[in-house]
Chain A
Amino acid sequence: MKRYLVGLVMGLAVAFAFTPMIGAGQTPAPAPYAAPRTPDGHPDLQGIWQAVNTAAEDLEAHNGRLGVPAGPGVVEGGVIPYKPEALAKKKENFEKRDTLDPERQCLLPGVPRITYEPGPFQIVQQGDKVLMMYEYRNAIRYIYMNGNPHPKGPIDWWMGDSRGRWEGDTLVVDVVHFNDQTWFDRSGNFHSEDLHVVERYTPTSAHHMQYEATIEDAKTFTRPWKISMPLYRRQEKDVELLEYACPAYLLEREWANPTSTYFK
């Protein structure tokens, strides 16, 4: 009882002493979230995640159109810094997006696009690598954490070569060795084979991660630029990755179409 009173008095005194340090209208910054650890001591990012935004349609701010909700965009600063000739190509891509978008041909979407495609993805951490599994086409990425540098190029992969490291609780992934055939969204935002992506996955609560991707490609952009968005842990009981077998749906539709332009 006595100890309780002493504690209460001391607590009040401490609270009083610190009160002036918090200015009017200001709230103290919440303690940074400390992610739980895997058995080998790394931040545990495992689970099923999904972006909830319109980045798959357009990374930049956009109005609504038939079948497409409006969105505020996910590009820091609002606009992608294209070189003039690249901006002209982006506009042409947009006009012809229904035929030119590689997603319309069910091709692997590259990085970062696969992260914010509709549908969830699942992270599993292994000793020497982080495995990312996507509902889209049952696609996978192995992010190697084994200390090997990027293999010597040139290599043109659809999903690039991913090498990861931990910075505090953040998984930082360096991705190079892309081809020039993937887009960033359905609106024609594109890149060259010189694309270099640095992704950052930072857990911010038990149910959220902040995702950032810095995009560098001197052939296409005047400077590096960044997208950012929260990723949400799927909450449904028994949630699992299902199947989006895009090539099968596409081939089935086009096979019997005598005027198909796909088979050329």
Chain B
Amino acid sequence: MGHRIVAAVTTLIVMLALWAGLPVRVSGQAFWPKSTPKIPMSPTWVAQKAKLPPFTPPRTPDGVPNFQGIWDGAGGDGAADIEDHEWLDATTPSQETFISDPADGKIPYTPWAMAKHQEIRKGLGRGWPGEVGPRTHGAPRSLCLNTIPRINVDGNQEIIQRPGYVIMISSEVGNFHRIIPTDGRPPVGPNAKFWFGSSRGHWEGDTLVVEIANLNGRGWFDTAGNFFTENTKMVERWRLADADTIDYSVTIEDPTIYTRPWTMNFPKRRQGTDTRRLRAAAFAAVSAEERARAGFVDNAPARPRTVDPYAKEVWEEPCFEGNHENTITQRESGFKWYPGVTPPK
């Protein structure tokens, strides 16, 4: 019900946004005009942080750096494609790469893995340049299946610290938790594989270092078919670059599909401190009214905009619930289930 109306209204809003020359969010999805200047990501951040003065982070009562609070994702296209790309469509604006190492900003796939990636990319059915042939796989995230490290890129996170734990709560792409023990416990046995893997954290100076194993290799880094496997190990580094910025990096290692370890690096800003994002949000607030007038029903109930006592509360925004029609459409249009890749021995 209402599927066509929603599609029509979405198109209308996208056209309005393109005309206005500003990004706009519809039901969690940002739409960008072709004229959007290239969105800065890893190269810009690496240059910026080199000029920052040293920062001594505040401490929690038990004496470790205090990351608590709500942090934005990476912004931009929400990791539609983690490598550098020009404007591909209204949800995939021109954007710098997320990858800081190697220096060319590309994933160092082995020849076999590169061919596999190209095969998936050619069958995404997005209307992107170079697409040919039958549809292969839709992005797992479009089925509301989340994975690390994408949950750190896409949507905000509340970080809560307790002795022995760091907890991260995502609430913009579904409401879910990730718990990182920091008490030195051993990893889970190797036969258990998870979408989020198994995280074990420790402190190195002011940096929270998280080793991730037990990944099931079913998720993607983005929507463009950039993958890892169940052999992949990741090491995250969370460091406060200033009071309102986390310098986040994740190094990915898997000799079965990459020729060398590689690293994504980008800033996560404390919610409400990123002026570019605030301007975009102000614009989106206006068009929420527009879409309400047009009969568009958003997942989230409308909130009063003036003196809102609930402004700091996080409310239920389910992803899987409400995504059923999209799931059916994906399957009927020929996308296959993504079972992960099996590299040659």
Contact = CB atoms under 8 A, between A and B. Distances in A.
A191 to B, nearest CB: 17
A151 B328 CA distance: 34
A94 B100 CA distance: 56
Interface residues of B, number: 40
A251 B336 CA distance: 11
Secondary structure dominating the interface of B:
loop
Interface in B308-324: 309-310, 312-316, 318, 320-321
Contacts, number: 87
B186 interface: yes
A264 B324 CA distance: 9
Nearest to A151: B310
Contacts of B188: 242
Interface stretch (B8-16, B19-27, B173-181): B173-181
Contact of B337 (A148, A243, A256): A256
B344 interface: no
A242 B194 contact: yes
The A interface, classified by DSSP as helix, strand, loop or mixed, is loop
B144 interface: yes
Interface in A142-164: 142, 144, 146, 148, 151, 155, 157-159, 161
Interface string A36-49: 00010000001000
B178 A159 contact: no
25 contacts: A39-B61, A46-B162, A106-B320, A107-B320, A124-B167, A126-B160, A131-B160, A131-B167, A131-B169, A133-B167, A138-B178, A139-B175, A139-B177, A142-B313, A151-B310, A157-B315, A241-B177, A245-B145, A247-B143, A247-B320, A248-B195, A252-B337, A255-B331, A255-B336, A264-B328
Interface of B: 61, 143-145, 160, 162, 167, 169, 175-179, 181, 185-186, 188, 192, 194-196, 218, 301, 309-310, 312-316, 318, 320-321, 327-328, 331-332, 336-337, 339
What 6 A-B pairs have minimum CB-CB distances, sorted nearest first? A255-B337, A138-B176, A133-B177, A243-B194, A157-B316, A238-B185
